[in-house]
Amino acid sequence: MSDLPRKAVTRTAKLAALPLGFAGRATWGLGKRIGGKSAEIVGRELQQRTAEQLFKVLGELKGGAMKFGQAMSVFESALPEEVAGPYRAALTKLQEAAPPMPTSTVHAVLAERLGADWPDLFLEFEDKPSAAASIGQVHRAVWRDGREVAVKVQYPGAGEALLSDLTQLSRFARLLGPLIPGMDIKPLITELRDRVSEELDYGLEAQAQRAHAEEFEDDPDVLVPAVVHQCDQVLVTEWIDGIPLSEVITDGTQEQRDRAGQLLARFLFSGPTRTGLLHADPHPGNFRLLPDDPDDLENGDWRLGVLDFGTVDRLPGGLPSTIGESLRMTLDGEAEAVYDLLRTDGFVKESIELDPDAVLDYLLPIIEPAQVDEFTFTRGWMRSQAARIADPRSPAHQLGKQLNLPPAYLLIHRVTLSTIGVLCQLGATVRLREELEGWLPGFLPDEETEPEAVVKVVPGAEESEAEQSALDGDEFDQEGSAAGA
């Protein structure tokens, strides 16, 4: 009953055509160079054509292909403007939409998971999806108690599609490398593949969302919609209106951009301290900018609405203090101390000897936003950092190849880079140092002034259906019981 492009052979054929297309364009590029065009101009044309084909195919396939496209899209800021500009609209579309499931399929899933009388659970249900993403799509509805809700329905066959796509993509990851300078694509695909089972488990997602909704209840800056109901392949949460961050990136005022950027940074660094969890899917489609007063958009503060907790990193003690300590010591110019700490935590392997001053020189440009009271994130700054690290002739490139990223930091690293990518897309001016001082363990030298990690008890996957139903305050007998979208 799958409505992802159905057969594995069909999906594999579409993805397998990508490297063939890349090879054909390389031949076309060689002809252009022979014809007199400079290598730089031809390279940019190749990059643009490759990206256009890549994101077109990824958007059509959904599944793991779509998930990879979303993860890649936040790094658009690293591309040269003349390359990024023509297909930026395609990236934004990837972040917010995908071809929808047929209504008959949606109804079949709901009947299978909620029972034949599923329409009785809703006062209203919109068949047309309001959003579609990599493994499911969202429908707006009114729950039986009158609350407006978002109903997320998982695509049939999503698990198989995710694994198949990501396996196929990993086979030609090297060919995708030039799309995002300075970024190693294969570890990104591997990490996405490793988290497939968690992403498909709507019970785990509901638990993570409950923990955040409880902690951020009545928060003046961040809104997490409450979980209403959950069962296998279906999640229901309270509906929130607001401006998608992708629209703020495209058309937002500078005030909206700055406010969204500040709150995004605040949520990134405060979330692990307050909940013991790191929201690990920071692409713009998962955030909304919400006015305090929907009837008065000119006055008052804006809040950040946060959606989709399908991918989280579990950090019971908050972010590792090594991050804050090494950042602080780097800002203070303590090259030897930084080097010793990085070696102790496995960022520098025992078999490698590096110059501590060179390591400091490598790190300082990257942490420029933390050196000042406020910093304006721009695509130009992001491109300069990517170019510095990607250029094989640069000392930064040579040193970066010798550093190691311990497994415990892989997801934290990707989330941080992705968030910075979104800040650069926003062009936001952010008081980043303020957030680091307030929330990042180890950043302030005086331990007494640092926030104490509030570790929430997040129910395990083994939590019974009856316990989930009680947590939701919703006595519903259907198989699978309660949770959120």
pLDDT range class, residue 64, cuts 50, 70, 90: low
In a domain, 134, yes or no: no
pLDDT range class, residue 36, cuts 50, 70, 90: very low
Those residues whose C-beta lies under 8 Å from the C-beta of residue 38, and which sit 6 or more positions away, are none
pLDDT at 320 over 50: yes
Q: What is the pLDDT of residue 277?
A: 97
In a domain, 384, yes or no: yes
pLDDT range class, residue 77, cuts 50, 70, 90: low
Which range marks the domain in which residue 350 is found? 243-454
State the Cα–Cα distance between residues 248 and 284, nearest whole angstrom.
Answer: 9
pLDDT at 349 over 60: yes
In a domain, 445, yes or no: yes
pLDDT at 351 over 60: yes
> pLDDT, tens digit, for every residue of 96-150?
445 678 899 999 999 999 999 999 999 999 999 998 766 788 999 999 999 999 9
pLDDT range class, residue 60, cuts 50, 70, 90: low
Q: In what order do the strands lie in the sheet with 287-291?
A: 222-223, 302-306, 287-291, 243-244
State the Cα–Cα distance between residues 485 and 310, nearest whole angstrom.
Answer: 9
> pLDDT, tens digit, for every residue of 166-177?
777 776 666 665
In a domain, 362, yes or no: yes
Q: Which range has highest mean pLDDT (93-107, 131-145, 189-203, 241-255)?
A: 241-255
Print burial letters for 2-21: b (CB count within 10 Å at least 16), e (below 16).
ebbbeebeebeebbeebeee
pLDDT at 159 over 90: no
> pLDDT, tens digit, for every residue of 273-308?
999 999 998 888 899 999 876 665 555 589 999 999
pLDDT range class, residue 337, cuts 50, 70, 90: very high
The rounded Cα 348 to chain-centroid distance in angstroms is 27
In a domain, 247, yes or no: yes
Directed axis angle between helix 185-194 and helix 63-73, to 10°? 130
Mean pLDDT of 370-375: 97
Q: What is the pLDDT of residue 221?
A: 95
Report the first-to-last Cα separation within the chain, whole angstroms.
22
Q: What is the pLDDT of residue 456?
A: 52
> pLDDT, tens digit, for every residue of 400-416?
889 988 888 988 988 99
Tokens 């680091």 belong to which residue?
436
Q: When comparing pLDDT for 8 and 229, which is higher?
A: 229
In a domain, 211, yes or no: no
Q: When comparing pLDDT for 430 and 31, which is higher?
A: 430
Backbone angles phi, psi at 303, to 5 degrees: -110, 160
In a domain, 411, yes or no: yes
Radius of gyration of the chain from Cα atoms?
23
- Say how many domains are in the chain: 1
State the Cα–Cα distance between residues 298 and 296, nearest whole angstrom.
Answer: 6
The structure's pTM equals 0.76
**Mean pLDDT over all residues of the chain?**
78
Q: Which range has highest mean pLDDT (15-24, 79-88, 140-149)?
A: 140-149
In a domain, 305, yes or no: yes
Give yes or no for a contact between 261 and 429, defined as CB atoms under 8 angstroms apart: yes
Q: What is the pLDDT of residue 477?
A: 34
pLDDT at 87 over 90: no
> pLDDT, tens digit, for every residue of 253-268?
999 999 999 999 999 9
